[in-house]
Amino acid sequence: MGAPTELPWWTDKVGYEVYIRSFADSDGDGVGDLRGLHHHLDYLAWLGIGIVWITPFYPSPMRDHGYDVADYRGVDASFGSMADLEAVFAKAHDLGMKVLVDLVPNHSSSEHPWFISARSSKDSPYRDYYIWRDPAPGGRPPNNWTSHFGGSAWTLDATTGQYWCHLFLSEQPDLNWANPAVADEFDEILRFWLTRGADGFRIDVAHALVKHPEFLDNPPAAEFVRSDTSADEWGALEHLYDANQPGVLDVYRRWRKVVAPHDGLLLGEVYVLDAEKVAEYVRGEDGLHLGFWFKPLHLAWEPGAIREVLVAGAQAAPGLLAWVSGSHDRGRAASRFGGGNVGRARALALSTLLLGLPGTPFLFQGEELGLENGAVPREQAQDPVARRTEAVGRDGSRTPLPWAPGPGWGFTDGPRTWLPMDGRTEADTVAVQRADPSSMLHRYRALIDLRDAQPDLRRQPVEWVGEDGPVVAYRRGAVIVAANCGDQPSSFTPPEGAWVVAFSSNRDGEQQPAGGDVVLAPHQAVVLTR
């Protein structure tokens, strides 16, 4: 019998999303930057973070806050310099952390030199870097595809008389992955960042790079569900032909060969709410290494739904998912789950369940503080969704991180911040919570520390304990993770053994023997070991 295969490095680490604009500002302009991140990397190491994902820092006109890239090999001056970024790589590595660069391959900025040239003439050598179609009869758009941010996914170019495709803003033209030259360009972009110290890539819109070659109309959605973070037109269609096309896996097969010499990670933003479809991107060591499972971001606080979503993800792609309960594209978990102490307790309970499942968990910055959505009046909205539609938008989850009491909340020394920080309290800050052993911050740190100390939580298969009721629980070897997802005290009976409460989300019973029946308060989560 051969020796056990060594697991990839990301299996043993907890990730953390740094939304760079809102993490820490070093120069007083009210926008987070790379020097601010560099200054606070020690905090992330103290918290127990092993992977730092940085949202886009590239030169950009910032129509979509960096997800409209004008140069894939540079750093926007508002965030610092290439030297600042390389210093982040170096310090993170010194602290034992890996760094993921946010790659945006579905679309570029309309101000990228490729698109400026492509738009100038049908004969441009870059014309086929983008998706162009002739008008439909009557001059209408080529099909009924819609933009995530509202309106048609097509904009007419008066110079050449053709429409360009954009699943997001018109200023974010979609790249044409049917053109081999685009693939060649991105091979070199990946190599550029890997040689400068990146340890891998979080891949934006990873499921939509390839479009159906016939550009067929999308059918109406079987069930329309209004969203606070996308346009109604987007939710009204079933996206059969503008996403999840078979050819997209060929892109990641190719990229695996590019990142392999660097032991690099390909982590996909596969925003698909069907676990089996997400699994297609990661199974068989033949595509992405990890894919985000976003269904937990769409949960109501209901035990049956929570159990169903976690079981579906864990069974569809064991060890190949990145688990999240928050991101810069959704409202914060504490707000989604009711707000106040109840919302924070529920968010921590869900995080406890997620951090023990096979795969790699990621926290969204501020989650460890139990932050709720920031208050952003509509007249101060920055998110294209909120500015172009009636949707609330994503600004509430993107307000700057409060580091310490005082003017600017320790985020900035300047007079204002790019999004308001109204409503934050001293109890929300890193400084106050770090000084309080009973704080949410210390609960998250203890939970991460326990995951690090228990190899069974990363290597043993999942056995679900019970099939119904308010307590959602599973066992992995010598560890049991359980959460009461109901609103009343409830109990569960662990398998026979001398179990100890190694972690309790509300600290009750911690480090005590578990006994026969374990009684959990509403929204309490525990980890039992023996």
Q: What tokens appear for 384 in the block?
A: 């294209």
Residue 354 has a CB neighbour count (10 Å cut-off) of 22
At 312-327, the pLDDT tens digits run: 999 999 999 999 999 9
Full domain range(s) for residue 142 = 113-165
Residue of 194, 167, 163 whose CA lies nearest to 68: 167
The verdict on 67 and 214 lying in the same domain is: yes
Contacts of 380 (CB under 8 A, 6+ apart): 395, 419, 420
pLDDT digits (tens, 9 = 90+) for 190-235: 999 999 999 999 999 999 999 999 999 999 999 888 888 899 999 9
Question: In which band, very low, low, confident or very high, does the pLDDT at 5 lie, cut at 50, 70 and 90?
Answer: low
Residues 260 and 324 in one domain: yes
Residue 15: pLDDT band with limits 50, 70, 90: very high
298 vs 294: CA distance, rounded Å = 7
Q: Is residue 2 part of a domain?
A: no
User: At what angle are helices 440-453 and 340-355 packed, to 10 degrees?
Assistant: 10
Residues 203 and 256 in one domain: yes
Residue 77 shares a structural domain with residue 151: no
- Predicted confidence (pLDDT) at residue 2 exceeds the cutoff of 70: no
Q: What is the domain-level CATH number for residue 406?
A: 3.20.20.80
d(CA 286, CA 270): 15
Structural domains of the chain, count? 3
Q: Is the pLDDT of residue 134 over 80?
A: yes
Same domain, 264 and 300: yes
H helices within 287-367, ranges in order?
303-316, 333-336, 340-355
Spatial separation of the C-alpha atoms in residues 19 and 38, rounded to whole Å: 14
Question: Residue 3 has what pLDDT?
Answer: 38
pLDDT at 479 over 50: yes
**Residue 89: inside a domain, yes or no?**
yes
For residue 170, being part of any structural domain is answered with: no
Residue 174 within a domain: no
Neighbours of 194 (CB within 10 A): 19
**How distant, in Å, are the alpha carbons of 93, 126, 499 from that of 70?**
28, 14, 56
Are 44 and 101 within one domain?
yes
Last residue of a domain, one of 419, 449, 479: 449
Q: Are residues 354 and 247 in the same domain?
A: yes
Query: Is residue 173 assigned to a domain?
Result: no
pLDDT: is 261 or 515 the higher one?
A: 261
Q: Is 455 part of a structural domain of the chain?
A: no
Main-chain phi, psi angles of 333, to 5 degrees: -60, -40
Summarize pLDDT for 286-299 with one digit per residue, the tens: 899 999 999 999 99
Q: Which of 17, 233, 242, 269 is catalytic?
A: 269
**pLDDT (tens digit per residue) in 334-375:** 999 999 999 999 999 999 999 999 999 999 999 999 999 999
Same domain, yes or no, for 368 and 303? yes
Q: What is the pTM of this model?
A: 0.97
CB 370 within 8 A of CB 339: no
Closest among 462, 481, 466 to 351, alpha carbons compared: 481
Q: What is the DSSP letter of 8?
A: P
**Cβ–Cβ under 8 Å, residues 168 and 229:** no
Helix 180-195 and helix 248-259, axial crossing angle in degrees, nearest 10: 30
Q: Which two tokens stand for residue 32?
A: 């987070």
Together in a domain, 238 and 267: yes
User: What is the domain-level CATH number for residue 486?
Assistant: 2.60.40.1180
Question: Above 50 in pLDDT, residue 146?
Answer: yes
Supply the mean pLDDT for the chain: 96
Residue 51 included in any domain:
yes
Where would I find the beta strands (DSSP E) of 270-398?
290-293, 321-323, 360-364
437 shares a domain with 356: yes
Please say if 68 is a catalytic residue.
no
Specify whether 434 is located in the same domain as 487: no
| CATH code of the domain in which 159 resides | 3.90.400.10
d(CA 266, CA 285): 11
Residues sharing a CB contact under 8 Å with residue 56, sequence separation 6 or more, in sequence order? 20, 65, 66, 67, 69, 102, 104, 204
In the set 204, 242, 280, 383, the catalytic residue is 204
**Residue 250: active-site member:** no
At 42-101, the pLDDT tens digits run: 999 999 999 999 999 999 999 999 999 999 999 999 999 999 999 999 999 999 999 999
- Does residue 26 sit in the same domain as residue 76? yes
Among 449, 480, 500, give the residue marking a domain's end: 449
pLDDT (0 to 100) of residue 1:
35
For residue 8, pLDDT beyond 70: yes
Examine residue 188 and state whether it is found in any structural domain, yes or no.
yes
Beta bridge pairs of residue 501 = 528
Q: Where among 418, 449, 480 does a domain terminate?
A: 449
